């Protein structure tokens, strides 16, 4: 088998844009078909997850009045990018249930976080979870975010971990614009109390 090449190191911006443009008609066709077929609605979130992180970060940055930077290879998806205390966010795209399991594999490293068959986040991995709810027909127009601090997601039986499903009581508390603004103000506009 030939050795793998580092495609990113060999690709220019123009080449990357050309490749993306080649895929766009196929992605668009799949998405249109998925939107029209309720059986595929669950899969839409999987396809739009990465793009929704960009939308969520933009909405969060605008509401917080602080710049955010998307990150890769961390347990969080974005972080503040200024000289104030760092706030880390995990972004989720959700249409119905606000499930919260990770896509991590069961491993020796994660064996203590797998009590339900899902690997749970550790309580120290990020500071806030944003839930992006798409607009009508899964569009960006009319979409909104909700913010839940990790302190509200602690697993009462394992306080070093977060829950794997956001229960109805927590969702009812945080699924409104006023509470989201309150969380943003608390975390992004005042110094966090549990951070360095």
Across the 196 residues of the chain, what is the mean pLDDT of every consecutive 10-residue run?
65 92 96 95 90 96 96 94 95 87 53 58 95 94 96 94 92 96 91 44
Question: Is residue 2, in this structure, part of any structural domain at all?
Answer: no
If you search the block for the tokens 């064996």, which residue do you land on? 111
Question: Is residue 100, in this structure, part of any structural domain at all?
Answer: yes
What's the token pair of residue 175?
């699924």
* The pLDDT value given to residue 98: 86
* The pLDDT value given to residue 192: 47
- Looking up residue 139, the CATH number of its domain turns out to be 3.40.1350
Question: Is residue 75, in this structure, part of any structural domain at all?
Answer: yes
Question: Is residue 114, in this structure, part of any structural domain at all?
Answer: yes
Question: Is residue 157, in this structure, part of any structural domain at all?
Answer: yes
What's the token pair of residue 173?
């508390």
* The pLDDT value given to residue 1: 62
Question: Is residue 138, in this structure, part of any structural domain at all?
Answer: yes
Question: Is residue 135, in this structure, part of any structural domain at all?
Answer: yes
* The pLDDT value given to residue 103: 60
Q: Which domain holds residue 125?
A: 51-188
What's the token pair of residue 94?
């959700």
pTM of the predicted structure, to 2 decimals: 0.82
Q: Give the residue among 125, 130, 141 at the shortest CA–CA distance from 174.
A: 130
The domain total for the chain is 1
Question: Is residue 196, in this structure, part of any structural domain at all?
Answer: no
């Amino acid at each position: 088998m030939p050795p793998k090449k580092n495609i990113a190191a060999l690709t220019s911006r123009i080449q990357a844009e050309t490749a993306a443009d080649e895929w766009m008609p196929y992605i668009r066709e799949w998405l249109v078909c998925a939107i029209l077929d309720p059986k595929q609605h669950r899969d839409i979130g999987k396809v739009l997850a990465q793009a929704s992180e960009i939308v969520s970060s933009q909405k969060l940055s605008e509401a917080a009045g602080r710049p955010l930077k998307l990150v890769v290879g961390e347990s969080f998806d974005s972080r503040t990018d200024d000289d104030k205390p760092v706030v880390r966010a995990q972004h989720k795209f959700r249409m119905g249930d606000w499930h919260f399991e990770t896509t991590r594999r069961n491993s020796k490293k994660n064996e203590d976080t797998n009590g339900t068959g899902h690997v749970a986040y550790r309580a120290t991995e990020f500071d806030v979870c944003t839930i992006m709810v798409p607009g009508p027909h899964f569009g960006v127009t009319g979409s909104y975010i909700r913010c839940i601090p990790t302190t509200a997601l602690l697993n009462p039986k394992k306080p070093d971990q977060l829950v794997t499903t956001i229960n109805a009581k927590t969702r009812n508390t945080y699924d409104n614009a006023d509470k989201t603004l309150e969380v943003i103000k608390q975390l992004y506009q005042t110094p966090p109390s549990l951070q360095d």
